[in-house]
Chains A and B, each alone.
Chain A
């Protein structure tokens, strides 16, 4: 997206699961890039394939049942698509870190938090016990834990949900990663705690210049944290572009529908525009646009022609054949 080569560039990433009911294509020929120091937001509803994408990037999907193939996964000049398990492990431990939704399931309940945070340093960098403890205290302080020199010996059950999510972020930050994958990092948290964690993530990004891929179902979270957005639906990226473009001039009916179905806290309360129907069964997906069944402006062509991202303007791309119809949706609603 800039002239320098991006930190991460993925092209043609496809993830399939062989199931009894047929082949489920959870990620369908996805391409994306992330620049150093920038945030890419991946937004979509349950089952759209956002978490599978994160796990595929890190090589965390067990195969079978998953089949992952990609034309290219290039990270900081290295090709991850053909990397050995051992090399991937090195990258995971040092350059790419991940934060999951539920901090409780990322922490071992019977092991002190400090030890868990520093484990990576001992394994990957050969830190001694004293060194790693010192590093754990430093990173806990950085993520806003009060009196870290005492709390480093605590067990997870002694901490609240918000504190545990800070611990998980600390665990990710301790190796100073170039890329942080955050999969719904605030979904399990209360709104005031979510607010704290989002501020923390953005501040850490400013300080360290790490890139972030932030996966969320919540458009409002994306709006305050991301430079670029990729909207996922039924395993496809259906629209991608700069955050402001996506929010101000959505060029895909699904993005439009998502934005209009949010009940707002600020501004006027209006009747919500819901998207009719429900997401399709990924095992029985046909050739055409996966959103066609729920789309108010789809025509017969949409159900037959295979979709592909096409430019709208600049780096704003949509997989809709008729992006000009998206404006019609607002007029339709008004009347």
Chain B
């Protein structure tokens, strides 16, 4: 782990202020904040893909947006290629984001070609005369015919729009991509096309990626390393193989067992978890997962240690080593 990570997130905290109601003001109640991300640290090394997985409200998108500077952390540092990010102007050419539905990130009035050309000219990626040619190259890179340059976003299908969004992100020739649920809105056959395209692009262009998704199968498919988030904290992180084959945190195990297994028998079993994900306004003390955890005991009301359970494999649970197979 000696090389400099492309992206390092260190102890980042992001809060959103909760609006004070009239009653709060009258009673002089303290202003409250939702801590969406609470002390998250991870590093992504050159050429690697880190998968960030979690359910709604886990803070996975907030982290992605914080990296792009769309949310400002109240604490912690985010470094890019060894330097803490201060000014972002230069970074925009190195760091790009792909959103869940490009329908909401592409300008509906611009043709796809114009949307990509805008980026090329603004950042002066290629000479003015070469812009149309570069647009065609980018479109073919993401598997779109050149004729798509004339279309507007509404004339494209979901999969085509996602390809166009990707082409626009790749226009600045970034080294790092943050992909926030890039396939969540797509049908499974189209989803597979986009996932395969992303794997190919990663190899061809040597991209480093942060891949944010709620679906475990998708994350596994794309990632070298995985971080599992729950209510603003990383519960477990490690190599993809270890996370899927030897998960140490009860939450990771619950997530994995909750996915239907294609056993082709009608389900008779009880659900793997009881109860709801707690509100981020009212996070349990100690281990955040203890209110839904089948293993929870008295000790779980105290802050769980971050235990190293293998090479680059960390689990935030008092019982991380319980039931461990001897190697």
Contact = CB atoms under 8 A, between A and B. Distances in A.
User: Chain B CB within 10 Å — which of A218, A271, A274 has the most?
Assistant: A274
B264 A265 contact: no
Contact of A265 (B217, B254, B265, B266): B217
Given A190-B55, A274-B193, A223 B262 contact: yes
Contacts of A198: 260, 267, 271
A248 B264 contact: yes
Interface stretch (A73-81, A148-156, A255-263, A300-308): A255-263
A224 B266 contact: yes
B217 A263 contact: yes
B110 interface: no
B128 interface: no
A191 B187 contact: no
Contacts of A217: 187-188
Contacts, number: 141
Given A220-B262, A274-B192, A262 B217 contact: yes
Contacts of B4: none
A225 interface: yes
B192 A263 contact: yes
A51 B261 CA distance: 25
A6 B278 CA distance: 44
B187 A195 contact: no
A325 B261 CA distance: 27
Nearest to A159: B276
Contacts of B214: 190-191
Contacts of B255: 191-192
Interface string A208-243: 000000000111110111110000000000000001
User: Chain A CB within 10 Å — which of B160, B221, B263, B271 has the most?
Assistant: B271
B188 A262 contact: yes
A272 B196 contact: yes
B216 interface: yes
Contacts of B193: 274-276
A214 B233 CA distance: 35
Given A46-B187, A160-B276, A274-B193, A265 B56 contact: no
A18 B141 CA distance: 39
Interface of B: 55-56, 157-160, 187-193, 195-196, 199, 214-218, 220-221, 244, 254-274, 276-277, 292
Closest 10 CB pairs of A and B: A274-B192, A261-B192, A263-B217, A195-B258, A45-B187, A190-B55, A220-B260, A275-B189, A272-B192, A196-B271
